[in-house]
Amino acid sequence: MARTVIIEDFGGPENLKLVERDPGAPGAGEVRIRHEAIGLNFIDVYQRTGLYPLDLPHALGMEGAGVIEAVGEGVTHLKPGDRAAYACNPPGSYSEARVMPAFQVVPLPDSIGFETAAAMMLQGMTVEYLFHRTTPLKKGDTVLFHAAAGGVGLIACQWAKSEGIRLIGTAGTDAKCQLALDHGADHCINYNTEDFTARVRELTEGKGVDVVMDSVGKDTFEGSLDSLKPLGMMISFGNASGPVPPFNLGILGPKGSLKITRPSLFTHIADHDTCQEMAGHLFDKVASGEVRIEIGQRYALADIAQAHRDLEARKTTGSTIILP
């Protein structure tokens, strides 16, 4: 049996329920993994509230690291006893052990600990696709990155620094701005005390940035568009403040023939080889020391509701992990 967190109805953190489940044996193309550490991400909140609907009841959690206990027929890249990590569908990582599809589970190098892996897979592969698979970026380009002191943000600050990309971050407190600066951001704007759009224009001598990477959504969307240079790219990849409301696509023309995209990690990792390649790139960044994973909080599995409350209240910094 394995303790597992499920929801039976959409709603608040109080709807998270800890139950005992038999994970069962893996079928063809599946593995059973026993978790050593589990990741916490904003997508978990979206699924809990129903913004991203699930068939209920359903387990939650998109990310974890642990040891492979058993493999099903046809699985060749993993074997029992292997260290492994993942960030993928279907949800279910909030558990001591689970059976899941194997093709997006990746072998974990011995040089990377379970806690580090659980803290970085979803967020780190998100940064990988933002910087390498969404729009061309080169040394010397300037990026505006919202929520720069969060788990994705701190990885992005370091990733940008390692590739000679100028990163202007935003965060909600001076302390969080300093954290982003300490991790490689060139500048960080406290959006509670400054107009981030005006400050971006100052920092870029009125030109604007090449790319905006925005996981905040509703609250920052218009300001993000106004921070871009002509022909700039707006990457909207999250909804922490709520989904972006409908807008007139025609405004992109007079604002400078802007481009906009709404990508998802799960489209990128739907192909087995691409998933393994992205994870390998992330592992190389971490193993080289170019990217250090900042674990700001740890919670017990039984305290998952409090972890969700703190995440939604923006009380967390860096990555958060759950220990089964």
Phi–psi pair at 191, nearest 5 degrees: -70, -10
Q: Which two tokens stand for residue 118?
A: 């659980």
Please give the share of the chain, as a percent, with pLDDT higher than 70: 100
* Partners of residue 65 on adjacent β-strands: 37, 85
Q: According to the CATH classification, is domain 2-121+266-323 in 3.40.50.300?
A: no
What string of DSSP letters covers 148-180?
Answer: TTBHHHHHHHHHHHHTT-EEEEEESSHHHHHHH
Report pLDDT for 314. Answer: 83
Span 265-323, pLDDT tens digits? 999 999 999 999 999 999 999 999 999 998 989 999 999 999 999 999 988 888 899 99
CA 175 → CA 79, 142, 184, 190, 194, distances in Å? 44, 23, 15, 9, 15
- Nearest to 228, CA basis, from 124, 297, 135: 135
What would the mean pLDDT of 33-61 be, rounded to a whole number? 95
Report pLDDT for 316. Answer: 86
Predicted TM-score of the model (pTM): 0.91
Confidence class for position 26, pLDDT limits 50, 70, 90:
very high
- Please return the burial class of 279, using the count of CB atoms within 10 Å of its CB with bins 0-12, 13-18 and 19+: buried
Every domain of the chain and the residues it spans: 2-121+266-323, 135-262
Query: Is the predicted pLDDT of residue 232 greater than 90, yes or no?
Result: yes
* Partners of residue 87 on adjacent β-strands: 63
Span 126-183, pLDDT tens digits? 999 999 999 999 999 999 999 999 889 999 999 999 999 999 999 999 999 999 999 9
Q: Output the average pLDDT for the chain.
A: 96
DSSP tag of 276? H
Please give the share of the chain, as a percent, with pLDDT higher than 90: 92
Cβ distance 168 to 189 under 8 Å? yes
Span 239-260, pLDDT tens digits? 888 889 999 999 999 999 999 9
**What is the CATH code of the structural domain delimited by 135-262?**
3.40.50.720
